Structure 1
Amino acid sequence: MLGRAVSYHQISFESYKARLVQFGMSDAVAQGMTDMARAKDQGLDLIVSRTPMSSTPTSFRQWCEDTLKPAVLG
Structure 2
Amino acid sequence: MLTFKQTIPNLKFQKAVKKPIPIKCIQIDEPFVVETLEGTMKGNKGDWLMVGVSGEMYPCDKEIFKKTYNLVK
TM-score scaled by structure 1?
0.21
| TM-score normalised by structure 2 residue count | 0.22
Which structure's residues are more often helix, by fraction? 1
Larger strand percent: 2
For the pair shown, which has the larger CA radius of gyration, 1 or 2? 1
